[in-house]
């Protein structure tokens, strides 16, 4: 999943929308396509604020597809039934907003204290200035194994800012390799939810999924890194000014408060080991918790491990560690910590609203029956199962934005085809790779990940389509191509 919410509850049978245009599968597909085109037009050409555009188009598509006002908005009495708009917004923000808040504050402490600069400098030193984008890519690849895509962005973004400011080059050159590493691991490798869910549905050992994930994912990420280098040298985007201003405001406030208290700011640079410990702690906690849910039977020990390894708890622990190790131990006052934390949250309000509206759009598309219409259309095609799995997952992903929904829905569709044939575990694992590859194709305006990338790295919607959307498509196509070729020999 790239920042997608849990699937909203299945919508009740449509009772007739105000603007119902066409009935049936063809009508649903037409309405969805027109809705996505209208959204792109409003955002790119009309320059309508994305949050407003997403909400307006979500309502228009829902009504045109036959959803009733009650299905979209609920009732005045607020019965137990939740509207699609509320479930779409709340479903994604219930997870994302907390991570955004904790991750942004943690990143601010790392940046203001100089920790991100220390780590960036060491990576640049190891790889060399010319290979700095590769350093970002390797960082994303390694850190992406135990953490979700969104956690990785918010923890590691300050390193991208520091590298881009240090070199004076486009932030795209450094952000895209990092994002490619995070996205590849999230799509192809356990313990991430997509491949794990597909393995359970198709009854494949996780060992085969991990092996085929590496086989298909490594060539895909190498191709994505090559595209990152190409587009990063042709598309200049400065470090987001609001992020720069927030960091500078925080640094100035901390220095002023320390001097007012009679303490000169510490000149000694932050230790690299301290920075790695703070970043590594939530990664290790989340990784241990994920594998404990697979390796351990339900018990008190497993519950404790899963508690401390939940992303919310793990990031909170890391934030408190940063407060002490990078703040208080360096002479910061409690007011300084509050100032830095509060200033860091100022730029993320728009991010939260836009990501939530993207969740609304995806929920409306799903609740209107588009996913089922797509499934019915493609399941009747006489294609090889691995190609059919890729195409179904790809179209579901493009239509409604959620990679997890695309994976789970596609796995359910191809399960009868898998059970009807004499396929090896290795082949079925490759089918899972095809499904996973399709689920990340062409991340665009109905995907929360698209808006997180655009807003957090200060990239315009047009340039995000040129960089991030194409990057995801490269990962998808190459990953599937490798899976298809390898399937001929297993």
Domain boundaries, the chain: 89-348
Residue, of 382 and 27, whose pLDDT is higher: 27
- CA dist 134 and 123 (Å) reads 10
pLDDT at 61: 86
List the structure tokens of 335: 């007011």
The per-residue pLDDT for 2 is: 40
Closest CA to 67 of 364, 359, 461, 351: 364
> 391: pLDDT confidence band, cut at 50, 70 and 90?
very high
The Cα-based distances of 76 to 9, 59, 73, 82, 83 in angstroms read 20, 17, 9, 12, 11
Above 70 in pLDDT, residue 3? no
Structure tokens at 395: 């179209």
* DSSP-assigned letter for residue 10: P
- H-only helix segments in 41-131: 50-64, 69-73, 84-112, 115-127
pLDDT-derived band at 15 (thresholds 50, 70, 90) equals very low
Cα distance between residue 410 and residue 388, in whole Å:
9
Q: pLDDT-derived band of residue 7, with 50, 70 and 90 as boundaries?
A: very low
Predicted confidence band at 466 (pLDDT cuts at 50, 70, 90)?
very high
Q: Which two tokens stand for residue 470?
A: 């194409």
| Distance separating alpha carbons of residues 285 and 283, to the nearest angstrom | 6
431 and 384 in contact (C-beta within 8 Å)?
no
pLDDT at 371 over 80: no
pLDDT-derived band at 266, boundaries 50, 70, 90: low
pLDDT at 484: 97
Range of weakest confidence among 219-223, 225-229, 248-252, 436-440: 248-252
% of the chain surpassing 90 pLDDT: 26
End-to-end CA distance of the chain: 28
Mean pLDDT value across residues 146-151: 74
Q: Is the pLDDT of residue 221 over 70?
A: yes
In contact, 419 and 479? CB cutoff 8 Å: no
Predicted pLDDT at 182 = 92
Find the angle CA(371)-CA(5)-CA(407) to the nearest 5 degrees: 45
Greater confidence, 269 or 213?
213
- Is residue 174 within 8 A of residue 467, CB to CB? The reply is no
Give the integer Cα–Cα distance in Å for 210 and 201: 16
Mean pLDDT across the chain: 81
Residue 303: CB partners within 8 Å, gap ≥ 6? none
* pLDDT band, residue 459 (cuts 50/70/90): very high
């Amino acid at each position: 999943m790239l920042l997608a919410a849990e699937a909203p509850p299945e919508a009740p049978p449509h009772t007739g929308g105000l603007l119902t245009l066409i009935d049936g599968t063809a009508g649903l597909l037409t309405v969805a396509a027109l809705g996505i085109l209208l959204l792109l037009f409003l955002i790119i050409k009309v320059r309508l604020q994305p949050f407003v555009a997403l909400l307006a188009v979500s309502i228009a598509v829902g009504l045109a597809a036959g959803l009733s006002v009650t299905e979209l908005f609920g009732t005045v009495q607020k019965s137990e039934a939740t509207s699609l708009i509320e479930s779409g917004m709340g479903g994604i923000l219930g997870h994302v907003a907390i991570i955004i808040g904790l991750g942004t504050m943690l990143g601010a402490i790392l940046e203001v204290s100089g920790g991100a600069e220390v780590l960036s400098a060491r990576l640049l030193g190891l790889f060399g200035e010319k290979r700095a984008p590769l350093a970002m890519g390797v960082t994303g690849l390694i850190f992406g194994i135990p953490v979700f895509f969104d956690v990785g962005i918010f923890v590691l973004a300050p390193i991208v800012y520091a590298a881009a400011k240090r070199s004076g080059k486009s932030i795209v050159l450094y952000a895209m390799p990092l994002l490619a590493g995070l996205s590849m691991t999230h799509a192809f490798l356990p313990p991430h939810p997509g491949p794990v869910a597909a393995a359970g549905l198709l009854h494949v050992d996780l060992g085969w999924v991990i092996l085929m994930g590496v086989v298909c994912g490594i060539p895909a990420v190498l191709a994505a890194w090559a595209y990152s280098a190409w587009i990063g040298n042709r598309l200049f985007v400065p470090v987001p000014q609001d992020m720069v201003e927030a960091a500078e405001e925080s640094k100035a406030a901390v220095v002023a408060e320390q001097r007012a208290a009679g303490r000169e700011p510490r000149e000694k640079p932050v230790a690299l080991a301290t920075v790695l410990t703070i970043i590594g702690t939530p990664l290790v906690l989340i990784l241990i918790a994920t594998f404990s849910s697979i390796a351990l039977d339900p018990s008190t020990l497993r519950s404790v491990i899963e508690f401390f390894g939940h992303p919310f708890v793990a990031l909170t622990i890391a934030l408190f560690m940063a407060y002490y190790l990078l703040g208080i131990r360096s002479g910061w006052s409690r007011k300084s910590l509050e100032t830095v934390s509060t200033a860091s949250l100022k730029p993320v309000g728009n991010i939260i609203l836009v990501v939530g509206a993207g969740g609304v759009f995806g929920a409306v598309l799903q609740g209107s029956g588009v996913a089922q219409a797509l499934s019915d259309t493609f399941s009747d095609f006489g294609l090889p199962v691995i190609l059919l799995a890729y195409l179904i997952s790809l179209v579901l992903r493009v239509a409604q934005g959620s990679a997890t929904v695309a994976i789970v829905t596609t796995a359910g569709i191809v399960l009868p085809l898998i059970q009807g044939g004499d396929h090896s575990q290795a082949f079925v694992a490759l089918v899972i790779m095809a499904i996973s590859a399709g689920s990340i194709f062409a991340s665009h305006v109905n995907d929360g990940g698209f808006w997180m990338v655009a807003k957090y790295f200060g990239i315009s919607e047009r340039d995000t389509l040129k960089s991030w959307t194409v990057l995801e498509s490269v990962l998808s196509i190459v990953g599937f191509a490798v899976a298809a070729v390898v399937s001929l020999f297993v």
